[in-house]
Amino acid sequence: MSVELGLRAEGMLDELGRLSDKDGLLSRPYLGPAHRRAAELVQGWMRAAGAETTINPVGTVVGVVHQSGSARRRRLLIGSHIDTVPDAGRYDGMLGVVVGVLAVEELRRRGAALPFDVELLAFGDEEGLRFPEASIGSLSLTTALPQELLDVRDEDGISLREALVAFGLPGDPPLGGLRYDPADLIGYLEVHVEQGPVLEAMGAALGIVTSIAAAARFRITVTGAGGHAGTVPATMRRDALVAASQMVLAIEEAALAAGPDVRATVGELVIANAAANAIPGLVRFSLDLRAPDDELLARARAAVVAGIAAVATARSVDIAVEPEYEGSATVCDPALSAALARSVEGLGLSAPRLPSGAGHDAQTVAGAAPVAMLFVRCRDGVSHRPEEYAAPADIGLAVIALADAIGALAAEPDPRSGAAAVG
């Protein structure tokens, strides 16, 4: 059964993977034409699974499976996203949407009677690449966003308001806010490809996420002195590029010293007014810093900034460290995580625990509800690339594990009444 489900999932992922705004590669930005087609495709799958569907004011596909015996409309949320990075793979985000739909279908096949509604969510914006605000879909689920957000523009000068209208939605929508009584939310479950090599190295098909990393992002400017490549002696130079290069190494050293779970990445480096025969006088570079908890991130940040400053002093250059983003770590709910782990172990598999270094919609939803995540291993740990791959057999196991976990939650006591949810 799990292999059959995995093959079905692979076919659905292939269908989604063909919906792109660029020929020859998968690129599906928020509110673009391909996003619209993907939303309609997913909406059809949700309907076939027995859900009442809509596309909400910010482009999230919502499918609610109502249970005739639902008491006080308690609700379990299951979701992920369908937007992509440029030149993407077929699994990031989309895997969780497809597995959620198939898990609901599997429960219906079993004739499972749940004492709560299940709400399937396919968020349109998690990557945050088109507009300045990231995770608009999941953020608007829990937070009333400022109406001024409608006036922000993408790099082509198109405002969010205009993009919503082009997508077929109202251009002046209410921007979110929690639609539920938090007491009625059982929680949020998200299945996601691991995007790293840990599960594969363990020989484990599935893993339970313990926390989603705290993250901080900075833009660092190094100002030295430009000059002629042939006339300024090496001992008299204030070379911004040499200083920046040493800073990158200092960042790596400080992060490694802070602990094995700290991640520091310099992904962009720009030399201002670069020329082959000129000493670089101004360099800017990015820094992405992540850790599994806020305290460790704070220690790593202090060590990294101290390392940068020491290089600046030694090289007689000036530095400016500008924060661009900071997000706290999210600890996954122990009870929901335990339900997922029991379901995985019930399949005869190990259920290793591991932190997520990547951000997810679960991190945003955690502002309103308990969250838990199930990881599916991926080949060579590759993600955000066309080579991204998860085996159908593993995906099928994830479908069964998610369905089993939902069934297990149905049998647990309702915390508001102390009574068992299912007689």
Domain boundary residue, one of 273, 299, 327: 327
The answer as to whether 70 is a domain residue is: yes
Domain boundary residue, one of 267, 292, 327: 327
The answer as to whether 419 is a domain residue is: no
The answer as to whether 302 is a domain residue is: yes
The answer as to whether 418 is a domain residue is: no
The answer as to whether 80 is a domain residue is: yes
Q: What pLDDT score does 68 carry?
A: 63
> Cα(372)–Cα(356) distance, rounded to whole angstroms?
11
Same-domain status, 200 and 144 = yes
Query: Bridge partners of 53?
Result: 63
Q: What pLDDT score does 180 carry?
A: 74
The answer as to whether 368 is a domain residue is: yes
Q: What pLDDT score does 327 carry?
A: 84
Going from the C-alpha of 339 to that of each of 5, 65, 70, 335, 372, the distances in angstroms are 21, 21, 21, 6, 9
The answer as to whether 421 is a domain residue is: no
Contact 165, 196 (CB under 8 A): no
Same-domain status, 204 and 232 = no
Same-domain status, 99 and 199 = yes
Same-domain status, 131 and 120 = yes
Same-domain status, 114 and 141 = yes
CATH number at residue 197: 3.40.630.10
Q: What pLDDT score does 237 carry?
A: 97
317 CB-near residues (< 8 Å, 6+ apart): 222, 223, 224, 238, 240, 243
Same-domain status, 27 and 127 = yes
Going from the C-alpha of 28 to that of each of 63, 126, 224, 317, 355, the distances in angstroms are 21, 12, 40, 42, 27
Q: What pLDDT score does 419 carry?
A: 39
Same-domain status, 61 and 187 = yes
**Residue span of the structural domain in which 80 resides:** 2-212+330-410
Same-domain status, 231 and 321 = yes
CATH number at residue 288: 3.30.70.360
Same-domain status, 92 and 199 = yes
Of 361, 349, 353, whose CA–CA distance to 398 is shortest?
349
> Cα(132)–Cα(30) distance, rounded to whole angstroms?
12
* pLDDT, tens digit, 9 for 90 and up, residues 157-193: 999 999 999 999 998 877 766 677 778 899 999 999 9
Q: What pLDDT score does 69 carry?
A: 55
Q: What pLDDT score does 72 carry?
A: 55
Q: Which residues does the chain have with pLDDT short of 70? A: 68-72, 176-178, 413-423
Domain count, the chain: 2
Contact 98, 5 (CB under 8 A): no
Same-domain status, 278 and 359 = no
Same-domain status, 149 and 267 = no
Q: What pLDDT score does 146 carry?
A: 85
Same-domain status, 197 and 228 = no
State how beta strands 185-193 and 75-81 pair.
Answer: parallel
* pLDDT, tens digit, 9 for 90 and up, residues 245-284: 999 999 999 999 999 989 999 999 999 999 999 999 999 9
Domain boundary residue, one of 327, 351, 377: 327
By the 10 Å C-beta count (0-12 exposed, 13-18 middle, 19+ buried), 201 is classed as: exposed
Q: What pLDDT score does 14 carry?
A: 97
Query: In the numeric block, which tokens belong to residue 348?
Result: 């005869």
The answer as to whether 181 is a domain residue is: yes
